[in-house]
């Protein structure tokens, strides 16, 4: 077992770290305030090959391993959690299922442009009445010649406004339950594809999160990913990978909390010395650092398992659960270390708390992660 990152992985860390400090750090607080979307910055990441990190080069991707992907999302999350989640959604929830389930025609029409930074994707599973119980979706598609007509409403879609294409999950045969759902790639601009309300969120405010409704939206049957009835399977497959992405984003936030706490505690003088000299502060930072390193190992081991093409469902859920809850804990501790200054927007740690909280919720709540882990450990 080798815990040392290889040269390629080290290079990815350096490249993304440099990019994040130069391109993301200057505007991150403003984007948090205004909700402006980091379109230019995301585009640059696409040009650098980070929209299709793991996809083989012959299919238009960068052909890197999963640990490199974790490192990239982690380093983005360390500076800008909003950019990190858009990159995670693009890679894990859109590119990956298109690689696995797309046919040759779809690979040319969708996968290649997605991976090459030309097409931004979004993932539409959640509905107002189907959150953790994803199988309760009611958005439906009815076959009409060589098209399907889709009606229904999705919500909480990351990049709902800015995406070019949506991977949407719908019911094609109500009688068959979970095996009666299907997945479609639906291009923006298709009549009846309506971008709805923008959510005014607590955190990750640099992302756009919208509702999307379908009103008699006619989608070519040729845009169905996989076969009819494979929707739930495709969604779960994508989410396993997505959970590694969210874990990486959360890990980045957890690390940023340490970075800022170390910096502040060395600068802040109280009782005649920097507060970093007090054991009360040292022990907090020691615990944050230890748990963050443990989280990193858990995450990378899940990623390595995916690369080895082994079942990584349990490890991805563990990494997501551990990293996300840690990000919230570290953010709370970072605020405590900053005292009153941690509670105001002059310092970034209050944003870290707001950004961290969603990582315990989206792509499967902590409670769903526990269900998934228990299911894998205990069986049915
Ligand atoms: N990976 C692969 N397959 C999975 C899976 C996973 N993580 N979780 C479930 N499945 C499979 C099961 O193995 C089962 O397959 P078979 O029918 O072949 O046996 C099938 O999916 C149905 O599973 P289950 O009976 O457990 O379905 P439930 O409706 O009880 O729900 C949970 C299972 C809760 C795990 C699922 O609905 C879920 O993950 N919910 C969270 C959804 C989510 O993350 N939403 C966020 C959307 S993006 S913001």
Domain membership of residue 1 (yes or no) is no
Determine the pLDDT at residue 97. 98
Q: Which atom of ligand 1 is nearest to the CA of 243?
A: 44
Say how many Å lie between the CA of residue 221 and the centre of ligand 1: 25
* Token digits of residue 278: 């007090």
One domain for residues 201 and 244: no
Determine the pLDDT at residue 140. 98
Q: Give, in order, the Cα–Cα distances in Å from 335 to each of 42, 275, 326, 347, 368.
A: 29, 14, 14, 9, 28
Assess whether pLDDT exceeds 90 at residue 230.
Answer: yes
Q: Which atom of ligand 1 is nearest to the CA of 364?
A: 44
Across 59-76, average pLDDT = 98
Per-residue DSSP letters for 262-317?
HHHHHH-EETTEEGGGSHHHHHHHHHHHHHHHHHHHHHHHHHHHHHTT---HHHHH
Determine the pLDDT at residue 77. 98
* Token digits of residue 94: 């859109």
What are 165-209's pLDDT values in tens digits? 999 999 999 999 999 999 999 999 999 999 998 999 999 999 999
293 noted as active-site residue: no
Q: Give, as one character, the DSSP assignment of residue 103.
A: -
One domain for residues 83 and 154: no
Q: Which atom of ligand 1 is nearest to the CA of 239?
A: 44
Going by CA atoms, what residue is nearest to atom 43 of ligand 1?
A: 364
Where does a domain end: 93, 119, 145? Answer: 119
One domain for residues 244 and 357: yes
Determine the pLDDT at residue 2. 81
One domain for residues 11 and 102: yes
What are 109-122's pLDDT values in tens digits? 999 999 999 999 99
Domain membership of residue 60 (yes or no) is yes
Residue with tokens 């080798």: 2
- Residue among 207, 312, 281, 311 nearest 249 (CA): 207
One domain for residues 15 and 52: yes
Say how many Å lie between the CA of residue 370 and the centre of ligand 1: 12
Number of domains in the chain: 3
Rounded distance between C-alpha atoms, residue 152 and residue 148, angstroms: 13
Pocket of ligand 1 (CB under 6 A): 125-126, 132, 134-135, 178, 232, 236-237, 239-240, 313, 362-364, 368, 371-372
What are 10-33's pLDDT values in tens digits? 999 999 999 999 999 999 999 999
Rounded distance between C-alpha atoms, residue 170 and residue 184, angstroms: 8
Residue 164 belongs to domain with CATH number: 2.40.110.10
What are 231-250's pLDDT values in tens digits? 999 999 999 999 999 999 99
Quote the mean pLDDT of the chain. Answer: 98
**Domain assignment of residue 287, given as a range:** 236-378
Residue with tokens 């090959």: 49
Across 69-88, average pLDDT = 98
Where does a domain end: 179, 211, 232? Answer: 232
Most distant CA atoms of the chain, gap in Å: 79
User: What is the model's pTM?
Assistant: 0.98
Assess whether pLDDT exceeds 90 at residue 380.
Answer: no
- Most informative mutation of 134, 137, 313 for ligand 1 (most atoms within 8 A of CB): 134
One domain for residues 241 and 374: yes
Rounded distance between C-alpha atoms, residue 141 and residue 184, angstroms: 10
Where does a domain end: 97, 119, 141? Answer: 119
């Amino acid at each position: 077992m080798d815990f040392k990152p290889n040269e390629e992985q080290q290079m990815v860390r350096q490249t993304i770290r440099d990019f994040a400090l130069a391109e993301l750090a200057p505007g991150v607080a403003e984007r948090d305030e205004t909700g402006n979307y980091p379109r230019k910055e995301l585009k640059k990441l696409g040009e650098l090959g980070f929209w299709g990190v793991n996809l083989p080069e012959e299919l238009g991707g960068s052909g890197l391993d999963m640990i490199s992907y974790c490192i990239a999302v982690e380093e983005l999350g360390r500076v800008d959690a909003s950019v990190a989640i858009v990159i995670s959604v693009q890679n894990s929830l859109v590119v990956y299922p298109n690689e696995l389930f797309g046919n040759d025609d779809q690979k040319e029409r969708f996968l290649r442009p997605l991976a090459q930074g030309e097409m931004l994707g979004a993932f539409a599973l959640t509905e107002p009445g189907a959150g953790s119980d994803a199988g309760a979706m009611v958005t439906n598609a009815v076959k009409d010649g060589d098209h399907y007509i889709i009606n229904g409403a999705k919500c909480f879609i990351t990049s709902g406004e800015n995406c070019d294409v949506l991977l949407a999950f719908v019911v094609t045969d109500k009688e068959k339950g979970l095996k009666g759902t299907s997945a479609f790639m639906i291009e923006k601009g298709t009549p009846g594809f309506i971008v709805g309300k923008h959510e005014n969120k607590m955190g990750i405010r640099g992302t756009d999160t919208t509702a999307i409704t379908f009103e008699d939206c006619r989608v070519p049957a040729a845009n169905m990913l996989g076969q009819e009835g494979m929707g739930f399977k495709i969604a779960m497959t994508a989410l396993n990978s997505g959970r590694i992405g969210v874990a990486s984003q959360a890990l980045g936030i957890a690390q940023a909390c340490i970075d800022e706490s170390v910096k502040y505690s060395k600068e802040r003088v109280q009782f005649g010395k920097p507060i970093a000299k007090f054991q009360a502060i040292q022990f907090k930072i020691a615990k944050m650092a230890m748990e963050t390193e443990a989280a990193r190992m858990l995450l990378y081991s899940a990623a390595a398992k995916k690369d080895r093409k082994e079942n990584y469902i349990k490890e991805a859920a563990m990494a997501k659960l551990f990293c996300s809850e840690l990000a919230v804990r570290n953010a709370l501790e970072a605020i405590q270390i900053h005292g009153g200054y941690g509670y105001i927007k002059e310092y970034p740690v209050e944003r870290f708390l707001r950004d961290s909280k969603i990582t315990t919720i989206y792509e499967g709540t902590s409670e769903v992660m526990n269900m998934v882990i228990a299911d894998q450990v205990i069986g049915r």
